[in-house]
């Protein structure tokens, strides 16, 4: 009887120790593939003693503020140029600790089958935040639609357009609203997460798409003070696992690409 009690006590203590070692974090994501993939990451992380509470956001503005304010422990929704711009503009004390996915930006249309069909004075809808708007303009330049002034880097604006043969009009809209703009604009340049959410497949529906070697790999971001925390390492390890890579490859079939 004494041995049984000791065994039971030992098991209870082990259970309590296991519960004590588990950590709980909140990770902010944008809707769409970032949220879907984080569900898979959470399953892997749970086996490593890390419990992830996923918080979804419908825009690109709030997640960094929430992280900086301490309402989140990490976020996963943005690329490095966007983070750099946010840090510059808002003074956030944030840092990237790992890569996640690349989502090629695409150009979509309900009216045209090719960029060659863009009419004189056509309407082009772009994201209105500096980094994704600049990314859209760089894509249009890469496809020969416009030319931009030299030296603008990764964040050109419509004011940097030096050649616009068809006198296109640029409509700057919230990124999440761009799929709805397809009814009015001739083309819209849309981030993949919002395209997928709207039922658009970048490989099949885009009339032009970004090259795979763009500098816009997405990242996991934390407060600088947390960059060496054990839970942060576990989060990155869980994301960069074979199980998550397999999920991405099979589910998105090239529309979303592992970046690690």
Domains of the chain plus CATH, in order, are 22-103+216-258 (3.40.190.10), 106-209 (3.40.190.10)
Chain-centroid distance of CA 171 in Å reads 22
Cα–Cα distance for residue pair 187/181, rounded to 1 Å: 8
Could you state, in chain order, the average pLDDT of each consecutive group of 10 residues for the chain (260 residues)? 40 40 89 96 98 95 97 97 94 98 94 98 96 96 97 93 98 96 97 91 92 86 98 98 97 90
Cα–Cα distance for residue pair 76/81, rounded to 1 Å: 14
Burial 218-245 (b: 16+ CB within 10 A, else e): bbbbbbeebeebebbebbbebbbbeebe
pLDDT of residue 211: 85
Helix, strand, or coil here: 212? coil
Give burial (CB, 10 Å; 0-12/13-18/19+) of 195. Answer: buried
pLDDT of residue 103: 86
pTM of the model: 0.75
Note whether 27 and 235 are within 8 A (CB).
yes
pLDDT of residue 10: 41
pLDDT of residue 213: 74
- How long, in residues, is the chain? 260
């Amino acid at each position: 009887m004494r041995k049984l009690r000791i065994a039971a006590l030992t098991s209870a203590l082990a259970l309590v120790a296991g519960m004590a070692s588990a950590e709980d974090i909140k990770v902010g994501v944008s809707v769409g593939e970032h949220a879907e993939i984080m569900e898979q990451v959470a399953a892997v992380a749970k086996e490593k003693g890390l419990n992830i509470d996923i918080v979804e956001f419908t825009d690109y503005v709030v997640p960094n503020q929430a992280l900086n304010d301490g309402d989140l422990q990490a976020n996963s929704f943005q690329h490095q140029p966007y983070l750099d711009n946010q840090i510059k503009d808002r003074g956030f004390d944030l840092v990237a600790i790992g890569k996640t996915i690349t989502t090629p930006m695409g150009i979509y249309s309900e009216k045209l089958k090719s960029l060659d069909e863009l009419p004189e004075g056509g309407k082009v809808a772009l994201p209105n935040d500096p980094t994704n708007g600049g990314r859209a303009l760089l894509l249009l330049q890469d496809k020969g639609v416009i030319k931009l002034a030299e030296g603008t880097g990764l964040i050109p604006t419509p004011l940097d357009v030096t050649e616009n043969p068809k006198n296109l009009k640029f409509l700057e809209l919230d990124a999440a609203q761009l799929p709805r703009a397809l009814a009015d604009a001739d083309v819209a340049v849309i981030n993949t997460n919002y395209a997928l959410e709207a039922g658009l497949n970048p490989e099949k529906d885009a009339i032009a798409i970004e090259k795979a070697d763009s500098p816009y790999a997405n990242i996991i971001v934390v407060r600088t003070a947390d960059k060496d925390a054990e839970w942060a390492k576990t989060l990155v390890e869980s994301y960069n696992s074979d199980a998550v890579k397999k999920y991405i490859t099979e589910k998105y079939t090239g529309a979303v690409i592992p970046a690690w």
